[in-house]
Structure 1
Amino acid sequence: MENYLFEKMDVPKAYMKLALPVVLSMIVSLVYNMVDTYFIALTGVQELVAGVSLVAPMFT
């Protein structure tokens, strides 16, 4: 049963089963970064927003 996904499942189904969690986690991370940037932008300090924008790709 352990290797069913890799040995017997159709490739599109296996791909979706493996890729879907990755895509969902990337979407959650993107939304988190956007909300974080929004709340930092409310402070009115441009340097903080620039810092978040520069560090966000490294964090990801």
Structure 2
Amino acid sequence: MRKYVEYLEEWYKLRSSLIAQQHVFWRKIKTAQRRKELTQEDVSTFFGVDFSRQPAFYK
């Protein structure tokens, strides 16, 4: 049982870290777009995804 708890704690730390990194990444993209360094088309082309339909959290 102790190993299971340690595993869960480690997983939660990694998950929290990834979520934080993703948030920072999107903030950098949004900042670049606001400064006109990147356009929505640049971002969509780079990722091959239509990011105009991203979650409200990132807008």
Which residue is 1:5 aligned to?
none
Aligned counterpart for 2:2 among listed residues 5, 9, 17 = 9
Which residue is 1:25 aligned to?
17
What RMSD, in angstroms, separates the aligned Cα atoms of the two structures?
A: 2.7
Identity value in percent: 7
Structure 2: where are the runs of 5+ without partners?
A: 48-59
Structure 1 residue runs of 4 or more that deviate by more than 6 Å after TM superposition: none
Q: Which has the larger radius of gyration?
A: 1
Structure 1: where are the runs of 5+ without partners?
A: 1-7, 55-60
